[in-house]
């Protein structure tokens, strides 16, 4: 394909780029930096090709049939993060773990709650990622604005209000806008040693609550009125339930594990089964947190 863009590959297996290790092929696939996304989307739009943005693949289920379009996988290095006195600027493809550690080494605190979340800046903003409970904290608490573009490749700047953040939700769920970079407020400082100690503690606590099987996508459902979805699924007696090679975790009921060779159909059937059983028992309709693509 002859155009001034990063190399595009054809028929690329997407399971290699998701934490569930599930998914069919992308008809077209490209790995790019966030700054390259506008020209890629402009090209796709002008050629009538539907484009999808993929970060770390940690909160998505890609169908076995794959994606008949262009998948743009974001890859930005932590060296592209810029810090000023009161703000940090990070491209969407930067991994959260790298971002948090980079801030820590610069004596910037207040972002430890992101430790252990296997995603990118863009994915975290898309989902308004964070932690619940007494110490509830989300991306929306530190997000101060961003650079977005539309599917035509037109770039514009927005403030935090534009994002319409709520629990595991942002405006990006129901618009065609793509986050290119985010600006964060820097409000707390401490010694790098103290911050790194908090990061290790947070990551260790998170890991203790999670299945050891890393073939999963984290939380499958959103909390319901402040009640953790995992609690409802557990009380419905669904821990350990299997369909095909997909299983509701015995460790955390809001996680579905790929036991090896699970298909998207297995996972979707298990999601449907969990929703039906929780509704039957509690009259609560669970809402998916993971995105299903394809």
Distance CA 41, CA 231 (A): 41
Task: Catalytic residue, from 42, 168, 170, 181: name it.
Answer: 168
Instruction: Choose the catalytic residue: 170, 219, 249, 264.
Output: 219
Active site residue 168: yes
CA torsion 229-293-71-54 (nearest 10°) is 0
Check if 219 is active-site: yes
For 230-239, the CB contacts below 8 A with 24+ separation are: 230/254, 230/255, 232/278, 232/281, 232/282, 232/284, 232/286, 233/274, 233/278, 233/286, 235/281, 235/282, 236/274, 236/277, 236/278, 236/280, 236/281, 236/282, 238/273, 238/274, 238/277, 238/278
Active site residues: 168, 219, 289
């Amino acid at each position: 394909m002859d155009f001034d863009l990063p190399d595009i590959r054809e028929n690329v297996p997407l399971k290699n780029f998701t934490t569930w290790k599930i998914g069919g092929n992308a008809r077209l696939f490209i790995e790019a930096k966030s700054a390259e996304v506008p020209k890629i989307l402009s090209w796709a739009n002008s050629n009538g090709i539907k484009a999808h943005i993929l970060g770390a693949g940690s909160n998505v289920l890609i169908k076995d049939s794959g994606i008949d379009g262009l998948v743009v996988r974001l890859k930005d290095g932590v060296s592209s993060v810029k810090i000023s006195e009161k703000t940090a600027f990070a491209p969407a493809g930067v991994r959260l773990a790298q971002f948090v550690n980079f801030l820590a080494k610069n004596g910037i605190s207040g972002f430890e709650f992101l430790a252990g979340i296997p995603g990118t800046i863009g994915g975290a903003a898309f989902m308004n990622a964070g932690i619940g409970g007494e110490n509830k904290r989300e991306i929306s608490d530190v997000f101060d604005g961003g650079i977005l573009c539309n599917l035509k490749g037109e770039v514009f700047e927005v403030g935090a209000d534009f994002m319409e953040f709520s629990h595991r939700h942002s405006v990006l769920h129901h618009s065609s806008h793509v986050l290119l970079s985010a600006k964060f407020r820097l409000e707390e400082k401490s010694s790098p040693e103290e911050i790194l100690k908090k990061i290790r503690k947070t990551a260790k606590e998170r890991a203790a609550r999670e299945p050891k099987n890393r073939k999963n996508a984290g939380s499958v459902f959103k909390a319901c009125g402040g009640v953790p979805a995992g609690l409802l699924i557990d009380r419905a007696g669904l821990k350990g339930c299997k369909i095909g090679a997909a299983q509701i975790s015995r460790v955390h009921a809001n996680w579905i594990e790929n036991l090896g060779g699970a298909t998207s159909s297995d996972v979707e059937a298990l999601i449907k089964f969990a929703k039906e059983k929780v509704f039957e028992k509690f009259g609560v309709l669970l809402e998916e947190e993971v995105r299903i693509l394809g």
